């Protein structure tokens, strides 16, 4: 297991500075993480810092609430790709999902996937706000809309990834979609548990601590 290649090295705090982002990229290069995950403003900076490396740039869209209009999310996603992002982590419109407006949620995911083309789209559910039935519906909508990944959490809600949620998501999508576990994953044992469940990516701000404890 190449643990480092499961990790999206993440910094999404409101007070993240330019130097913080540069340091994030330096760590990602040192430990050969799969990607860094940053807010849209910092995509161009991260792309510049990671030029001529294998580390990808992932960017969040509609973060962290998901309640922006579809047009705004599509614009943000396209701008991020144009500035060098390889992957987009979008937050669904949680309120619309819970209102039963499933076709709107699906169409939004599809619209973002369309504008980013072959680039990877991860759909963030924010499971802490959803019932199990709503999580299953979100899985179906993401699959129908052509997403590449489904993702447990933003890390900014009332809860993060759980074993139970990842098992539920895996049962719903099988091998048709990949799964990213994110939120509250801070140590090696926890990361390994999720990987053993079948997740393809771990979103964490504790990537360095996780991989160095494995040495």
Residues known to be catalytic: 89, 151, 180
Residue whose tokens read 């900014």: 156
CA distance to 82, 187, 213, per residue, from 87 (Å): 12, 24, 27
Asked if the peptide bond before residue 64 counts as cis, ω within 30 degrees of 0, the response is yes
DSSP code, position 92: P
What ranges in the chain are assigned the alpha helix state H? 18-31, 43-49, 70-82, 94-99, 102-116, 132-145, 163-173, 188-197, 207-212
Contact between 122 and 87 (Cβ < 8 Å): yes
């Amino acid at each position: 297991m190449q643990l480092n290649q499961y990790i999206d090295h993440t910094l999404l705090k409101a007070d993240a500075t330019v130097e913080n982002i540069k340091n994030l990229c330096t760590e990602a290069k040192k430990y050969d993480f799969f990607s860094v995950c940053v807010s849209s403003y910092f995509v161009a900076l991260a792309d510049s810092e990671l030029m001529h490396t294998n580390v990808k740039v992932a960017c969040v869209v509609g973060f962290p609430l998901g309640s922006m209009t579809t047009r705004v999310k599509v614009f943000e996603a396209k701008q991020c790709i144009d500035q060098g992002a390889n992957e987009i982590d979008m937050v669904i419109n949680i309120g619309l999902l819970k209102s039963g407006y499933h076709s709107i949620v699906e169409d939004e995911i599809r619209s973002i996937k369309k504008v980013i083309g072959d680039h990877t789209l991860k759909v963030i559910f924010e499971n802490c706000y959803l019932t199990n039935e709503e999580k299953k519906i979100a899985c179906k909508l993401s699959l129908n809309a052509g997403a590449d990944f489904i993702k447990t959490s933003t890390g900014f809600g009332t809860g993060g990834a759980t074993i139970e949620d990842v098992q539920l998501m895996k049962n719903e999508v099988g091998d048709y979609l990949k799964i990213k576990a994110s939120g509250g994953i801070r140590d090696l044992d926890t990361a390994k548990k999720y990987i053993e469940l079948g997740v393809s990516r771990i979103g964490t701000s504790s990537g360095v601590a996780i991989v160095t404890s494995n040495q």
